[in-house]
Amino acid sequence: MAHGYLEQMLDGRAKVYSAGIEAHGLNPRAVAAMMEDGIYIAHHTSNLMTDYDDIAFDYVITVCDNAHEHCPYYPGKSQRLHHNFPDPAKASGTEDEIREQFRATRNMIRDWCKDFATQV
């Protein structure tokens, strides 16, 4: 979700990559929640951080505590930023309640990305 918002909000000012410590594929509920907000992410891929070992990043952003704790060190001038968002993939309840968790997390991520994009 952050990848989709940052691509839109940075509008070509930066190349955005997305990866995790595990590759699980795209969550269809995340894709749907983002489409509700006008952001198409179905073309995104599920990558591992090691896929980008040769890239010198300006920023390394982690969006959950697990990734923050296991994120490798990136040499150079990379600035590390972290914000722990709830993981809606772990939500339980009815389908409507789960979709609402995806929307709530999406909105938190959107607001964080908006703040970040205005500062860089």
> 17 lies in a domain?
yes
**Is 0.75 topped by the overall pTM?**
yes
Angle at 51 between CA 47 and CA 57, to 5 degrees: 105
DSSP bridge pairs for 81:
61
Q: How far is CA 59 from CA 3, 27, 73, 93, in A?
A: 13, 25, 12, 36
Residue numbers of the domain that contains 10: 2-115
> 108 lies in a domain?
yes
Query: pLDDT 10s per residue in the chain (120 long)?
Result: 999 999 999 999 999 999 888 888 899 999 999 999 999 999 999 898 888 888 888 998 989 877 777 766 666 678 989 999 999 999 999 999 999 999 999 999 999 999 999 998
CATH number of residue 52's parent domain:
3.40.50.2300
**CA 29 – CA 47 distance, rounded (Å):** 18
Longest CA–CA separation in the chain, Å: 46
> 52 lies in a domain?
yes
> 120 lies in a domain?
no
Q: How many domains is the chain built from?
A: 1
**CA 25 – CA 65 distance, rounded (Å):** 20
Query: Is residue 79 helix, strand or coil?
Result: strand
